[in-house]
Amino acid sequence: MQDLIARIVAELGVDEGLAQKAVGAVLSVLKRHAEQSDMSALLAAMPGAQDLLAGFEAAEGGSGSGSRSGGGGLLGSLAGTLGGSLGGALGGSLSTLLKSGLDQDELKQLLPMLHDYAKEQAGDELVGRVVAAVPGLERLG
């Protein structure tokens, strides 16, 4: 995961902590929708991913709502930017992604980076199943 985090830091110009939190947020969304066995296999294929996920979930469990949790306009804008009915399909998952601390443009860049990295580490078939489990997310890949 350090390679991915370094890529995110370099390409998005964010600090390492924010990059880790953002990846944790995406993994949290995937975990919410994917089959447990597929998610376990994905996390196992990406050393360090489980720690990022656990760190994000622990922070969210202890902090309640994030600073952007009330951003209905931002959620709508992100949904529109990411494409069509995606916002409705992802529902609360968009809120989770926005809690990552990245803005919508940064999220649009991060999602394909994580998708490509996951495919490199875990293979197309597994990643395809995990992505397909999240309604609307397959349109991003």
In this structure, the number of other CB atoms found within 10 A of the CB of residue 102 comes to: 24
Number of H helices, E strands in the chain: 9, 0
48 pLDDT more than 90:
yes
> What pTM was computed for the model?
0.76
Domain count, the chain: 1
**Range of 41's domain?**
2-140
- The predicted model gives 3-14 an average pLDDT of 96
Q: State the Cα–Cα distance between residues 79 and 73, nearest whole angstrom.
A: 10
Residue 34, burial from CB neighbour count under 10 angstroms (0-12, 13-18, 19+): buried
Distances (CA, A) of 80 to 83, 102, 126: 5, 17, 28
| Single-letter code of the amino acid located at 94 | L
63 pLDDT more than 80:
no
- The predicted model gives 117-133 an average pLDDT of 94
